[in-house]
Amino acid sequence: QKEVEQDPGPLSVPEGAIVSLNCTYSNSAFQYFMWYRQYSRKGPELLMYTYSSGNKEDGRFTAQVDKSSKYISLFIRDSQPSDSATYLCAMSDAGGGNKLTFGTGTQLKVEL
């Protein structure tokens, strides 16, 4: 079983929809949680960063972490065609530095 599980999709939604992306994990030592966005033929870029449990909002994006359930989510409000990409969750433990453990990514397509 992988340390981080992520539904690969693809997920197709109409423009303006609210998108929910999720990851579950098994390693209780993970404390730092990130969401990266990867466009086709590009490298991943950091979208959201969260420490421990709680919510974080940045514009149309909200990241949630529930450590008790070992579950993290990324919500995208008012989704746009430009949000079409693969979304990767990533996490690390306190001693792991930037040795990140990634999910396999969820492919999102936002249609006009």
Partner 1 sequence: DSGVTQTPKHLITATGQRVTLRCSPRSGDLSVYWYQQSLDQGLQFLIQYYNGEERAKGNILERFSAQQFPDLHSELNLSSLELGDSALYFCASSPWERDTGELFFGEGSRLTVL
Site residues (CB under 8 A) for partner 1?
31-32, 41-46, 49, 51, 88, 90, 92, 94, 96-105
Nearer to partner 1, 61 or 102 (CB): 102
Nearer to partner 1, 44 or 79 (CB): 44
Nearer to partner 1, 38 or 84 (CB): 38
Nearer to partner 1, 4 or 110 (CB): 4
CB of 21 to partner 1, least distance (A): 15
CB of 112 to partner 1, least distance (A): 27
Q: Please give the backbone phi and psi of residue 16, each rounded to the nearest 5 degrees, phi first.
A: 95, -10
CB of 41 to partner 1, least distance (A): 7
How does strand 71-76 pair with strand 19-25? antiparallel
CB of 29 to partner 1, least distance (A): 12
